[in-house]
Structure 1
Amino acid sequence: MDERGIVNLMASEGQRLALRMVEALLFASNAPLSKSDIESRLPEGSNVDALLIELQHAYSGRGVNLVQVAGKWMFRTASDLAFLLQRDQGEQKKLSRAALETLAIIAYHQPVTRAEIEEIRGVSTSKGTVDVLMELGWIKMRGRRRTPGRPITYGTTETFLVHFGLDVIGDLPGLDELKGAGLLDGRIPAGFSVPEPRDGDELTEDEDPLDPGDLLASHLDDEG
């Protein structure tokens, strides 16, 4: 074997090793890993993007798939086999209709205050409903609206994206997808639209940072 062949063989072996390392890191992690998390543990010069794509393709028809959620990577049971694990899961507390509606409004309208949630729902939203979603880790306090009373604004979390298998909040279904899934009545009012969710944790122009007391509180204070 000539020198070029030896170099190519060494490169091939290095690629296989790097691929195995990525596979091991993802398999052992109990949380999604970012590209930088993976890159920091691989030999210098490793093409992480190419390795992830190759690994994703290799697992595409397997019992577990490599998926990207919240901008990070993780192994997840293939969607068509999820029923196999249902018997092993403990009984989960079902969310109330109020909690589901509140979660949907926050996901699509974030950043949003409790008063704005109530305006959209047309009914009052109890503090307990928001607390339940906070305890699940699906929503968080973002900041305070620059309006009288400086009410707290809410948004979704990375945990929300991971739980629902979303890479970014913009992956939430739009109007046509919701209608196709039968989640919206075919006789919806003219002009009805589903807002396009906004990505990012950066505060908007009408938001101030949370107060120090907000960050230390173990429960939500009344807004206003």
Structure 2
Amino acid sequence: MTMDPARAQSMSDHHAKSDEHADLEGAAMGKGESGAMEALNEHRLREAERIAEALVFASATPIPGKAIAEKLPQGVDVSAVMEQLSRSYAQRGVNLVRVGDAWAFRTAADLSFLIRKDETEVRKLSRAGLEVMAIIAYHQPVTRAEIEDVRGVATSRGTLDVLLESGWVRMRGRRRTPGRPVTYGTTPAFLDHFGLEELRDLPGMEELKGAGLLSSRIPSSFQVPQPPANDDLAEDEDPITQMDLEELGLLTPMGEADD
């Protein structure tokens, strides 16, 4: 039996329209699911930002990103959350800043002159203290002997004690060399005080010259040391142990700080 050509064409057009309609419905359904997923992700991100904001606000000291991540919804990228939150605060009176691997709220740089802390007396470092502080910052991990080699003079224990008490310098570990000398490095408090995100933000050659901190007569071959990218122990360092601290007189045998 032969079908009428016109009827055959009509049925073909009908099937084509049905298939097109099905494709449109599938596309719409897929778009709806995608939109719902995007909305859900957006909600999770906003909620994560609120949590992170609360954690940083409530912390008296810079809070590590790892500690923030533990409180965020599972699967949320803490770095993305903090960067977005930092951008949100960029034009406000307080800024969210990164301090090493931690985060903190700080007064916007252009408004810091309005904030006074008359009740806090800041201990000024001596010239020797400043020199040792700079050497440790740029050369860490560095031993006392290496500090003296750079300065060309002996470094008193008192100078290192002042820097340790300031909270800007810490004992990193012990060098795997004869005598196992203690190595020194900076702390997150050092970065926070000087407004640095990481050690690589320390002033370079041109910045130091511009600030008048380098003599114009320095050798042309002189190079400012490149600070390390992080606080990880070097290959030739071992971590400081409680026994080390006891030997150095920084802890009593019971593990309490020796006043």
Mapped partners of 1:12, 1:199: distance in 2: 33
What does the per-residue CA deviation read over 1:108-131, in whole Å, with 9 as the maximum and x for residues that have no partner? 111222122112112221100000
- Of all paired residues, the percent bearing the same amino acid is 56
1:182 Cα deviation from its structure 2 partner: 2.4
Tell me if 1:116 matches 2:150. no
Mapped partners of 1:30, 1:141: distance in 2: 23
Tell me if 1:19 matches 2:49. yes
Per the normalisation by structure 2, the TM-score is 0.74
Aligned to 1:31, the other structure's residue is in SS state: coil
Aligned to 1:86, the other structure's residue is in SS state: coil
2:75 match: 45
The letter of the residue matching 1:187 is: R
Mapped partners of 1:61, 1:53: distance in 2: 14
Number of corresponding residues = 219
Return closer, same or farther for 1:12/1:143 CA change in 2, 3 Å cut-off. closer
2:99 match: 69
Mapped partners of 2:239, 2:49: distance in 1: 42
The letter of the residue matching 1:23 is: E
Per the normalisation by structure 1, the TM-score is 0.84
Mapped partners of 2:141, 2:150: distance in 1: 14
* 156-165 vs 171-180, greater mean Cα deviation: 156-165
2:174 match: 144
Aligned to 2:154, the other structure's residue is in SS state: coil
Q: Map 1:34-183 to 2 at 5 A.
A: 34-183=64-213
Mapped partners of 1:210, 1:55: distance in 2: 36
Mapped partners of 1:14, 1:181: distance in 2: 46
Which ranges of structure 1 fall in alignment gaps of 5 or more residues? none
Aligned to 1:16, the other structure's residue is in SS state: helix
Which ranges of structure 2 fall in alignment gaps of 5 or more residues? 1-28, 252-259
Aligned to 1:41, the other structure's residue is in SS state: coil
2:63 match: 33
Aligned to 1:66, the other structure's residue is in SS state: strand
Return closer, same or farther for 1:203/1:37 CA change in 2, 3 Å cut-off. closer
Tell me if structure 2 keeps the 8 A contact 1:131–1:219.
no
Return closer, same or farther for 1:116/1:44 CA change in 2, 3 Å cut-off. closer
Mapped partners of 2:238, 2:113: distance in 1: 44
Aligned to 2:220, the other structure's residue is in SS state: coil
Mapped partners of 1:115, 1:6: distance in 2: 63
Q: CA RMSD in A?
A: 2.6
What does the per-residue CA deviation read over 1:130-160, in whole Å, with 9 as the maximum and x for residues that have no partner? 0011111211222333444332221222222
Mapped partners of 2:241, 2:103: distance in 1: 33
Whose relative contact order is higher, 1 or 2, with alpha carbons under 8 Å and at least 6 apart? Answer: 1
